[in-house]
Structure 1
Amino acid sequence: MEDQPELSPPFLRIVRGEPSVEEVAALVAVLSAAASARPAAAPAPGYAWSARSRFVRAPLSAGSGGWRASALTR
């Protein structure tokens, strides 16, 4: 008995129509490129302690409880 490699399931199956060899090659190229494309790296997170916006005072809200609301973080 000869050792035959096991066949893997097909990568692509044409369900309808009769595409040309060039069309199948183009489809395989697009699918391969999409599978190998890496997502863009996420930008490095900024640090809140060094953000200049921390030093800008938020406007005070007038009315009852305004003094209490001024201490809440936004």
Structure 2
Amino acid sequence: MTIPDSTILLDHFLKWEAERRGDVYLTQLYPDGAVVDYTWGMVGDQARRGAAYLASLGLPAGSHIALLGART
């Protein structure tokens, strides 16, 4: 599968998710010493769940949304 240069970042993510669903996408190190591997498939599933939740809120189009992380 080739991706044209004009594609957006999401297109690239979806390509890698489809091709490498079970491969590690990132490894998260936690302050308590825990190490968790997240696969392309896990990250895609989490993103879709988050998007579905935001859509369920019924916010108007163009609403400003902030996402905060514990270590950001």
> Considering only CA atoms, is the larger Rg found in Structure 1 or Structure 2?
1
Taking CA–CA contacts closer than 8 Å with sequence separation of 6 or more, which of the two structures ends up with the larger relative contact order? 2
> TM-score under structure 2 normalisation?
0.30
Q: TM-score, normalised by structure 1?
A: 0.30
Structure with a larger share of its residues in strand: 2
